[in-house]
Amino acid sequence: MNSLAWEKEPAGDQYFLHLYTKKQPDLNWDNPAVREEVYKIMQFWVDKGIDGFRMDVINYISKVPELPDMPAEGPFLASPYFANGPHVHEYLQEMHQRILSQKEFIIVGEMVSVTPEEARLYTHEDRYELNMVFTFEHMYVDAVGEDKWQIRPWNLPELKQVFGKWQKGLSDGCWNSLYLNNHDQPRMVSRFGKEYRVESAKMLATFLHTLQGTPYIYQGEELGMTNIRFDSIEEYKDIDTLNYYREATECFQKDPADVMEAIYTKGRDNARTPMQWDSSSNAGFTEGTPWIPVNPNYSFINAENALKDPDSIFYYYQKLIKLRKEHKVIVYGDYQCICEDHPSVYAYVRNYEGVSLLVVLNFFDVPAVLDLAGCEIPGTGLPEKAECLIGNYYDSPVYKKQIELRPYEAVVYLGI
């Protein structure tokens, strides 16, 4: 029995399964009475008037029968025993029939260990399960396998390949969710932007808001909030971070300084520091003592300052959201990556009902050139003429076949 996954019930001799912390026991969804209780809880919130559900690792609710032990030999890969199990679709369709069919909810399921083909089974409009899923493949582009603590340099062609696979894989009858940070991930500007915080934040926002799918904005993302570097492990709260530190230093004798560098890069507490409202004490978040310290840069990265600056990241997000409402091609257009082998520029074309959109993004801190004349662009509907719809620098670059990009520059052209 794996002591990490099983906890002895204090008042007896039984054990309960917890794939995560022991404070989060796994429910036995094979028991109809358990499912009924879940539906009662959901109905309580439906009656309160909520508009949707975010379902945590929902593809883990159906386990392999008898809960077998993992083989003693071979790779440590437990997910086949609890991910995308034998009854998961049956239970989700039952949930839809009982609860989710009552009105037009937004239903998103967080799903580790899922492929585009499997995601289609969860999200296709004819299956009556979920609207979309949070996928994780793009969150491992800077990791060795699925071990986020083993950090490797990420490269843009791999990021293009992953996003392209999901854009095309869920394009017919399904829908994508779009995110680069959330409560479980480091801040996107620290991960993919580093220097040029404002420019990179706007570039990454342009990326998320010009793909097919629903963009999710995590708190502080619209301000360009960054990762945190606490002085000692004692200041961290996240159980995943604390378990990693203990295991790495005590079991594998790793240098604590090296372990802390990994935590500075990938720790979940990076995204969990208090929201930075203003430059007052505790960033205006509380007059008491916050559960975790505020990022010291709150004195200049905060909502109050953003609202005073007409060129702030916050107002740029508003422009992107407005454009999605005004141009159907941004929401419904198909996706075609161009110049796919370019090492620093991510460019793609969206087409819908005769309208074309060209998105050009420099993902790095050095200037780059995109030569459209040298790209193979079969059938993408690339416009001969176009106007600049939005860009993250102060001017509006003129559309031409050879596009020169400044560090982290983003330009979106609309065909005319």
Query: Could you report the per-residue pLDDT of 70-88, keeping only the tens digit for each?
Result: 776 655 566 788 999 999 9
Query: Could you report the per-residue pLDDT of 104-122, keeping only the tens digit for each?
Result: 999 999 998 899 999 999 9
Query: Could you report the per-residue pLDDT of 289-312, keeping only the tens digit for each?
Result: 999 999 999 999 999 999 999 999
- Same structural domain for residues 147 and 194? yes
361 has pLDDT over 50: yes
Query: Could you report the per-residue pLDDT of 372-383, keeping only the tens digit for each?
Result: 887 766 555 567
What is d(CA 85, CA 88) in angstroms, rounded to the nearest whole number? Answer: 6
Percentage of residues of the chain with pLDDT beyond 90: 83
> Would you say residue 80 lies in a domain?
yes
- Same structural domain for residues 250 and 287? yes
60-77 as b/e: b if 16+ CB within 10 A: bbbbeeeeeeeeeeeeee
Catalytic residue among 110, 222, 240, 269: 110
What is d(CA 211, CA 330) in angstroms, rounded to the nearest whole number? Answer: 7
Active site residue 110: yes
Confidence of residue 146 (pLDDT cuts 50, 70, 90): confident
Query: Could you report the per-residue pLDDT of 178-203, keeping only the tens digit for each?
Result: 999 999 999 999 999 978 999 999 99
Query: Could you report the per-residue pLDDT of 218-255, keeping only the tens digit for each?
Result: 999 999 999 999 999 999 999 999 999 999 999 999 99
- Total count of domains within the chain: 2
- Same structural domain for residues 58 and 203? yes
Which phi and psi angles does 200 have, rounded to 5°?
Answer: -70, -35
Which phi and psi angles does 193 have, rounded to 5°?
Answer: -110, -50
Active site residue 129: no
> Domain range spanning residue 355?
335-415
* Mean pLDDT for the stretch of residues 145-157: 93
- Same structural domain for residues 188 and 290? yes
CATH number at residue 361: 2.60.40.1180
| Contact between 382 and 373 (Cβ < 8 Å) | no
Residue 222 buriedness (CB in 10 A; 0-12 / 13-18 / 19+): buried
- Same structural domain for residues 266 and 396? no
- Same structural domain for residues 105 and 237? yes
What is d(CA 332, CA 205) in angstroms, rounded to the nearest whole number? Answer: 18
> Would you say residue 116 lies in a domain?
yes
Query: Could you report the per-residue pLDDT of 25-64, keeping only the tens digit for each?
Result: 999 999 999 999 999 999 999 999 999 999 999 999 999 9
Residues 294/151/177/125 CA torsion (nearest 10 deg): -140
Confidence of residue 2 (pLDDT cuts 50, 70, 90): very low
pLDDT of residue 381: 59
Catalytic residue among 9, 36, 37, 56: 56
Query: Per this entry, what is the length of the chain?
Result: 416
- Same structural domain for residues 136 and 268? yes
Q: Of 291, 308, 325, which residue is a domain's last?
A: 308
pLDDT of residue 81: 85
Question: What is the β-pairing status of strands 177-178 and 214-215?
Answer: parallel
> Would you say residue 319 lies in a domain?
no
* Mean pLDDT for the stretch of residues 13-29: 91
Structure tokens that stand for 198 in this block: 């404002």
* Mean pLDDT for the stretch of residues 78-100: 93
